[in-house]
Amino acid sequence: MNQQILEEACRGSALVVHCRWVDEIDSTQEELRRLAPAGPGMLVAAGTQTSGRGRRGRCWFSSAGGGLWFSLLFTPPRAAGEWPFMTALAALALREALRRETGLTCGLKWPNDLLLGGCKIAGILAETVAGSVALGVGVNLAQGREDFPEELRDLAVSARMASGRAPAPGVILRLFLEGFERRSERFGRDGAAVFREELLKASVLLGRMVRLSDGRHGRVVDLGPGGELILEAPPPAGHLLIASGEIESIEPPLRPR
């Protein structure tokens, strides 16, 4: 990728006013924070990140030429209380982009991971920055197993490892922006509930037992009107609506042990 390819990928997107390519950066999320005063509509993509960040303070491995690493600053079309749902919309748009370009159908692990065979192919990080959302997207496209650090080798996968071919980052970005913009407009008009079917179809958690970091646990049976996880907990708790929280364990596991 380079500035020209990035501009072609962003052309026609109502969400992107300016885009900037950098060969190397600490983190595209941090760059967006620095550029935030310019207002929403900025997209930054990098060849490699030296301090790529994931959720829960984790590092995000982003090797040069290994994948697509970008952040977009935008203002969601609904009230701030509903902004967390943008993560799910981004995951759906990315899933569609990968399926259209590679034929691979990823599973969605609520709220922000895309998986193939239980291994992570992409992650999404949404943060509030200067009254807008900084949406960070990382997708493994071209790495081989040995390109990942040893501790990630059984946890991560790339499109090339799964399909035999590395898709062009610019194509994935263009398809993502198209799908994200379409869903974002629909979310603005109709709200989160209209995405229930699509989210349930993509979900790898449906029917599984999950335990959350706060100790609550139960079987995933549905999604709520705002995209929340609905767990069927052991009696007497009954149904639980989980709007946020971290999943500590999943049964049966997503990857064979």
Structure tokens at 108: 């969605």
For ligand BTN, the closer of residues 155 and 193 by Cβ is 155
In whole angstroms, the minimum distance from the beta carbon of 172 to ligand BTN comes to 13
Burial class (CB in 10 A: 0-12, 13-18, 19+), 12: exposed
Nearby residues of 61 by Cβ (< 8 Å), 6 or more positions away: 52, 148, 149, 152, 156
Under the binding rule (CB under 6 A), the answer on residue 143 touching ligand BTN is: no
Under the binding rule (CB under 6 A), the answer on residue 25 touching ligand BTN is: no
Using DSSP, state whether 132 is helix, strand or coil.
strand
Residues 34-53, one symbol each (x = binds ligand BTN by CB under 6 A, - = not), give ---------------x--xx
Under the binding rule (CB under 6 A), the answer on residue 118 touching ligand BTN is: no
In whole angstroms, the minimum distance from the beta carbon of 238 to ligand BTN comes to 31
Give the count of residues interacting with ligand BTN (CB under 6 A).
22
Position among 1, 6, 27, 87 found at the interface with ligand BTN (CB under 6 A): 27
For ligand BTN, the closer of residues 63 and 219 by Cβ is 63
Q: Are 241 and 230 a contacting pair, CB within 8 Å?
A: yes
In whole angstroms, the minimum distance from the beta carbon of 113 to ligand BTN comes to 6
Residue 240 bridge partners (DSSP): 231
In whole angstroms, the minimum distance from the beta carbon of 15 to ligand BTN comes to 16
Using DSSP, state whether 164 is helix, strand or coil.
coil
**How many Å apart are CA 190 and CA 70, to the nearest integer?**
28
Q: What are phi and psi of 188, to 5 degrees?
A: -60, -40
**How many Å apart are CA 246 and CA 257, to the nearest integer?**
21
For ligand BTN, the closer of residues 53 and 218 by Cβ is 53
**How many Å apart are CA 30 and CA 26, to the nearest integer?**
7
For ligand BTN, the closer of residues 147 and 218 by Cβ is 147
For ligand BTN, the closer of residues 113 and 228 by Cβ is 113
Structure tokens at 214: 């706060």
Question: What does the binding site for ligand BTN look like in residue numbers (CB under 6 A)?
Answer: 27-29, 49, 52-55, 58, 60, 62, 69-71, 112-113, 123-125, 136-138
